């Protein structure tokens, strides 16, 4: 069995496998309510059809999607450039340990650098020490800015 992994932008043909992977991320990993099939499909298709909104990358191993990353685009007024938010970085449990998180992160980083973005930001849970270790290893640092939210 081959262990070749390809990290690439999402293609329309990836819809069903990506949908299932995103359910693993939302429901199994983050323990959030399962989104409706149509709402998640609409999000994937929106990004695919509106590249100015964002882009998704997938890790494909032996014909199966085993990881994904989502960049959403915004702007930095201070730098007068586009900026990216790495909103999702997920590798399925059976594919962990293959450095796919690093490959997905590096793909996102290369994308923003090649396209002259001001920066890429991301968040992770305070208790997700595995992710924090990865981000520190790859050169990320905790921002001076505080993140607020409201629901």
Q: Residue 55 sits in a domain of what CATH number? A: 3.40.630.30
Q: Helix or strand or coil: residue 84? A: strand
What pLDDT is recorded for position 16?
A: 94
Instruction: Check residues 19 and 147 and name the one with the higher pLDDT.
Output: 19
Phi then psi dihedrals of residue 6, to 5 deg: -120, 130
pLDDT above 90 for 130:
no
Asked whether residue 146 is domain-assigned, the answer is: no
Asked whether residue 150 is domain-assigned, the answer is: no
Asked whether residue 148 is domain-assigned, the answer is: no
Domains in the chain: how many in total? Answer: 1
Boundaries of domain holding 119: 5-137
What pLDDT is recorded for position 81?
A: 97
């Amino acid at each position: 069995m081959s262990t070749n992994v390809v990290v690439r932008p999402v293609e329309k043909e990836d819809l069903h496998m990506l949908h299932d992977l995103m359910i693993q991320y939302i429901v199994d990993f983050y323990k959030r309510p399962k989104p409706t099939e149509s709402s998640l499909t609409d999000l994937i298709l929106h990004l695919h059809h509106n590249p100015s909104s964002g882009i998704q990358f997938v890790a494909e191993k032996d014909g199966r999607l085993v990881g994904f990353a989502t960049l959403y685009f915004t702007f930095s007024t201070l730098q007068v450039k586009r900026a990216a938010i790495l909103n999702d970085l997920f590798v399925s449990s059976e594919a962990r340990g293959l450095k796919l998180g690093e490959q997905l992160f590096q793909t996102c980083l290369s994308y923003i650098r090649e396209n002259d973005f001001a920066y890429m930001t991301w968040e992770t849970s305070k208790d997700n020490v595995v992710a924090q270790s990865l981000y520190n290893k790859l050169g990320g640092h905790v921002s001076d800015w505080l993140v607020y939210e409201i629901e």
